Amino acid sequence: MRILTVATGTEVGKTYVTAALARALAAHQAVLALKPVESGYDPAAPSDARQLALAAGHPLIPPCYALRRPSSPHLAARLEGRTIEAATLKDWVHQQEALHATTPHVTLIETAGGLCSPLSPRLTNLDLVPLLGPALVLLVVPNRLGALHELHAAQLALATCTAERPWVLLNAPPTPDLATATNAAELLQLGWADAPYVVERGAPLPPPLLPALCTALGLAV
Ligand SMILES: Nc1ncnc2c1ncn2[C@@H]1O[C@H](COP(=O)(O)OP(=O)(O)OP(=O)(O)O)[C@@H](O)[C@H]1O
Ligand SMILES: [Mg+2]
């Protein structure tokens, strides 16, 4: 069973929430946490892949596309003479699950950059939704002014490839603004999210998230 973490942008907390979820789930079952594409990858640094592995409690699994340049994955790949291929990514995730996971298990997959960030001229993170067929998509949105637009634009994009609404995580920005306190209520008011989860700065995931997620997925908590 796969959970895919996407976001409205880069550096908005995908690793933070995916690692927190990995830690919380790993107390109950086997978790595999993967970063299939990572740009700015340094094997010696606390890369996303390393942080996720640590949180899930398994050895480091280097990304399928571990790209050195900290830029858009399509560009980082191109500068290394590589092209990120959908079929390769799909096979790699499947291989990692076969190699590392015990059953039953959950595979958490963090995308690189924003939902529509290019992976190649023909591929964006959005394409990974139908490609990887997650049971659930987590959408991380920085909880600041602009979040309503960013979230709705991402939802409209996701609606082109899945009937399921993403689970929305409003993640605390480094500096809160006026909208930080009102976004969650406004999303409910607008009907744009059923239950936006607010992640506070430096805090673990909001307590209701894990049981709700496990119930939705039929996992034991
Ligand atoms: N709720 C939070 N509380 C404290 N720090 C946070 C929180 N969310 C994110 N951060 C910090 O903000 C920085 C960016 O977050 P993170 O690395 O999770 O973003 P990302 O979306 O995974 O970025 P990328 O697009 O590079 O993968 C990190 O240093 C992270 O620890
Ligand atoms: Mg990350």
What are the sequence ranges of the domains in the chain? Answer: 2-217
Instruction: DSSP letter for 194, please.
Output: S
Quick check: 160 pLDDT over 90?
A: yes
180, HSE (Cβ side, Cα atoms, 13 Å): 12
Cis peptide before 207 (omega within 30 of 0): no
pLDDT digits (tens, 9 = 90+) for 36-55: 999 999 999 999 999 999 99
- CB distance 9 to 173 below 8 Å: no
Mutate to test the pocket of ligand 1, among 5, 11, 170, 209 (most ligand atoms within 8 A of CB): 11
Fold adopted by 2-217? Rossmann fold (3.40.50)
CA dist 7 and 197 (Å) reads: 14
pLDDT digits (tens, 9 = 90+) for 87-126: 999 999 999 999 987 776 899 999 999 999 999 999 999 9
Measured by CA distance, the residue closest to atom 1 of ligand 1 is: 201
Query: Could you tell me the pTM of the whole model?
Result: 0.97
